[in-house]
Amino acid sequence: MYRQGVLEVEALAGVDLWVKPGEFVSIMGSSGSGKSTMMNILGCLDKPTSGSYILDGIDISKTPDSMLSTIRNKKIGFIFQSFNLLPKLNAFENVELPMIYAGLAKSERRKRALEALERVGLSDRIKHKPNEMSGGQRQRVAIARALVNEPAVILADEPTGNLDSKSTFEIIDIFRRLNDEGATIVMVTHEPDVASCTKRIVTFKDGRKINDEAVMGGNI
Amino acid sequence: MYLGENIKSALKNVLSNKMRTFLTMLGIIIGIASVITITSIGNGSQKEIEDRFDDLGVGRMTVSMRSNSPRNMYTSDALTLDDYELLKNVRGIKYISPTYQANYYSVKLLDPKETNTAQITGVGADYYDIMAPDLLYGEYINQENIDNKSKTVVITDTTAQKVFGYCDESVIGQQISVKSWKGSQKFTVEGIVENPNADTELQYENEYPESIVMPISTAQRLFGQKTLTNITLVAEAPDDTDALSERIVAMLDNFHNTSEKYTCESTTEQLEAMNEVTGTVTLLISGVAAISLIVGGIGVMNIMMVTVTERTREIGIRKSIGAKNSDIMFQFVVEAIILTFMGGLFGIVFGWLAGLVAGAILGMESVVSVKSIIIAVAISSAIGIIFGVYPAEKAARLDPIEALRYE
């Protein structure tokens, strides 16, 4: 990532987490460990009750709620376990949507949406609706949608949870490629295999960070 | 978010469930259609009245006694030929004629063929110039007829057709028998004029009385009356009748030693008064019909609430990728407006058709004005806004985390 940004969280129960631009971090933990709350805060869907969260130089904890949608739009790309595409829109329109909210012109939207779909290898599926695509393809549309506004961080919440192992591998491959190209990615997962494909694993338990280590071959 | 994108996506949503959309719109369709139907009939009858008055001419004024009860007709204040003589020399009057009209229910023509009723109008010499009828054959009532109290009448072509079975030159000079509560008398046909309302009268054959014009002196003697029904006149300056009207009323009040006992109304005033009545009636019925619009609006609100609940997850997704509350709000308001706007358009079409059908059945013209179309569209859109805002606001306020979790 080319931005001079830093992610900082001091939440849950004394959690202190720094994510630097260009990192590929996986967050692990059983349910109730606080990782969902963590993701909501990271995604600016929720604000910490105390402590601070600084995203790309912006103190989110001090940002008014009305501004959060703009920050989500410009700084964050969400990827969900259940894809969360709009069923009535085709792949292209789904990818185009964040740019409509960003107020981009139609020609610019078209150019960037096609580019993003190409990056995830779906150039031949732009007119397909979500229900006409496989799970792996849907998740790739979601990835294209997440990166189309060039966010500071891509947040993936169990992105491979609903996928078979072949599709899981494809998605992880795309993540690694995007990361190589400079994207900052934070991914929640409970699959150790998936987590080991990232560069750093942070483990939560009972609202606390219990482990934070680099993956072999990765770099912090 | 751009308006165009919003409208496109709203249309997509609205059209994806056509049956529900149609049922939702039905209330609005019925409401707008009934308002359009009623106003089109109202406009039509107003236009009909105006056409009628166009025939009557401009600048024509009618002087009569203000009478709230028929009893007044027999007071000493009733208009007589003396009043006519008094007004004859007033400045600003071009033509003036006294008229006496008998209650036509009790009058009929007997011979050669019997008719149901006849409207006898006794007139002065100026009456021809005031009414400007198309004289087909013979001559109109003149001063000599009046002076001699001659038993001459002018009838219309339709009456000639009905009574003699034909209408040509040879009817002139023939005898016609008039029967009233004063017995029956024979009159000579002196002239035949064209009936300007022939079309309407043919439609309601037996409801219109035969129209007979005779000298005022003859009519008064026939019915044994000294009073006048009114005095008709044409002003020299048809655009400025107010001053003349005031002068005439003042003179009569002075003459009879009364106060505001008489009126002098121009045809334009009468037209305005009649239009006002039809306008009020139309407005009143439209108001009742408009209540169904409110019911329709509530239906739209109801469905929008359901839509918002159904699409909670979509709202969550949109918010997570950066939709502002105002974007969501706008999206759902636009959707509600599209529902009611489309309902309004259908309503205009159905209302227009219903107006044509109702007009044909009632024998009235139906006129859908641009004004009523614009108002209908504006009202239906306004309903969309009014009843769409609450569900849209509910959607906009959804918590994205909760919304994303919604199954």
Q: What is the pLDDT of residues B182-221, one digit of tens each?
A: 788 889 999 999 887 777 766 666 667 888 899 999 998 8
Cross-chain residue pair B401–A86, CB shorter than 8 Å: no
Residue A51 lies in a domain: yes
Considering its fold, how many domains does chain A have in total? 1
Res B241: pLDDT = 79
Residue of B nearest to A76 (CA): B321
Nearest to A99 by CA among A55, A151, A61: A151
The top-scoring range by mean pLDDT among A23-32, A106-115, B233-242, B364-373 is A106-115
Percent of chain B past pLDDT 90, that is, above it, reads 33
- Per residue in A121-134, pLDDT tens? 999 999 999 999 99
Q: Determine contact: A98 vs chain B, CB below 8 A.
A: yes
Q: Where are the domains of chain B?
A: 3-52+273-405, 100-228
Nearby residues of B160 by Cβ (< 8 Å), 6 or more positions away: B166, B167, B171, B189, B192
Asked whether residue B71 carries a pLDDT value surpassing 70, the answer given is no
Q: Determine contact: A68 vs chain B, CB below 8 A.
A: no
- Per residue in B96-140, pLDDT tens? 999 998 877 677 777 667 777 888 899 998 988 888 888 899 999
- For residues A214 and A26, the answer to whether their CB atoms sit within 8 Å is no
Compare B55 and B156 and report the one with higher pLDDT: B156
- Overall average pLDDT of the B321-345 stretch: 93
Cross-chain residue pair B322–A72, CB shorter than 8 Å: yes
Nearest to A175 by CA among A190, A163, A161, A160: A160
The CA distance from B228 to A117, in Å, is: 94
Residue of B nearest to A77 (CA): B321
Specify the length of chain A in residues: 220
Residue A29 lies in a domain: yes
Residue A2 lies in a domain: no
Residue of B nearest to A154 (CA): B321
Q: Determine contact: B324 vs chain A, CB below 8 A.
A: yes
Cross-chain residue pair A72–B327, CB shorter than 8 Å: no
Res A174: pLDDT = 94
Nearby residues of B37 by Cβ (< 8 Å), 6 or more positions away: B351, B354, B355, B358, B366
Residue A219 lies in a domain: no
Residue of B nearest to A39 (CA): B401
Res B1: pLDDT = 55
Asked whether residue B270 carries a pLDDT value surpassing 80, the answer given is no
Using CB atoms and an 8 Å cut-off, which of residues 165-204 of chain A contact chain B?
none
Residue A1 lies in a domain: no
Nearest CB neighbour to B13, from listed A88, A100, A145: A88
Q: Determine contact: B2 vs chain A, CB below 8 A.
A: yes
Nearby residues of B4 by Cβ (< 8 Å), 6 or more positions away: none
Nearest CB neighbour to B321, from listed A46, A66, A72: A72
Asked whether residue B73 carries a pLDDT value surpassing 80, the answer given is no
Asked whether residue A220 carries a pLDDT value surpassing 50, the answer given is no
Q: Determine contact: B318 vs chain A, CB below 8 A.
A: yes
- Per residue in A70-83, pLDDT tens? 999 999 999 999 99
Residue A75 lies in a domain: yes
- Per residue in B288-322, pLDDT tens? 877 888 888 999 999 999 999 999 999 999 999 99
Nearest CB neighbour to A45, from listed B314, B325, B400: B400
Q: Can you give the CATH number for the domain in which A162 is found?
A: 3.40.50.300
Using alpha carbons only, what angle is made at residue A67 by residues A66 and A73, rounded to the nearest 5 degrees?
120
Compare A73 and A5 and report the one with higher pLDDT: A73
The CA distance from B305 to B388, in Å, is: 9
Q: Determine contact: A151 vs chain B, CB below 8 A.
A: no
Cross-chain residue pair A84–B320, CB shorter than 8 Å: yes
The CA distance from B127 to B114, in Å, is: 27
Cross-chain residue pair A72–B325, CB shorter than 8 Å: no
Q: Determine contact: B16 vs chain A, CB below 8 A.
A: yes
Nearest to B356 by CA among B35, B31, B40: B40
Q: Determine contact: B406 vs chain A, CB below 8 A.
A: no
Compare B385 and B109 and report the one with higher pLDDT: B385
CA distance B296 to chain A (A): 27
- For residue A70, what are the domain limits? 7-214
Asked whether residue A69 carries a pLDDT value surpassing 50, the answer given is yes
Res B162: pLDDT = 83
